[in-house]
Chain A
């Protein structure tokens, strides 16, 4: 199963339409999408506007591949499960977000094991093929790195 998520804040019609188009050409692959609504209604894949966190986690666990907007939450949740993920950045110029920070996100995450990037519908096909072949990266721990935790702890203690 491929799980598509555009996050929990804004719809992302360009990505949903691109994956739906891929789904139409690959009817043998099961796909589920969290779409946050929007003007585009998928025709070739199962979808919901929003899933509960428990259901969202269940879909992530069941997925062989995750396709997501380039939000850190999506990227981290995929990495915590060692699942391959394709990140597709939102663009401010297309009114998909208020800023282009997702372009920065893919810049610093691209190339990590298990992380793939597609920036437009044309590169999505190749990214899906590569991600399915490549598998996931190493499982990410559910806590921040110990040095950051220790630094933060000390800095907070120093406030008192």
Chain B
């Protein structure tokens, strides 16, 4: 038995704008079973009847909670075993790409938030070695060695 479920995609991100952007790109995952994870339980209503997992709300501002986030992300990954992980950031997305590669060998997609116009986000830079597809939403931030630019949510 494979350790991944081929047709299952995990769409994961932190709250606020990241969640809004992630929902806007969901049509690109049509045909797959999408399971979602983010930091506010109430978001489940936005994507019902899809499955939703709630994560601790950890940002770079509260570093002490990083182990709790890592544990929660690992639990979601091992419960769902997605073959594909897509994130719009930030910290939970970075965690999911790292752990998704290590635990499952999943395919991973990082889409840096459209808010990062001046430069790639810190999480985005850190995610690079763990992202099979590493995208910026701004053409001027694209470089030959990555990230690539395929468009934007607006």
Contact = CB atoms under 8 A, between A and B. Distances in A.
Interface of A: 7-10, 52-54, 71-74, 76-77, 98-102, 104-105, 107-108, 140, 142-145, 147-149, 151-153, 155-156, 159-160
B67 interface: no
A72 B17 contact: yes
A144 B107 CA distance: 22
Given A74-B17, A149-B28, A142 B23 contact: yes
A147 B115 contact: no
A144 B117 contact: no
A74 B28 CA distance: 23
Contacts of B133: 155-156, 159
A71 to B, nearest CB: 5
B154 interface: yes
Contact of B15 (A9, A74, A98, A105): A9
A108 B117 contact: yes
A101 B42 contact: no
Contacts of B61: 10, 98
A148 B151 contact: yes
B28 A76 contact: no
A144 B153 contact: yes
B118 A100 contact: yes
A71 B116 CA distance: 11
A102 B19 CA distance: 17
A149 B24 CA distance: 9
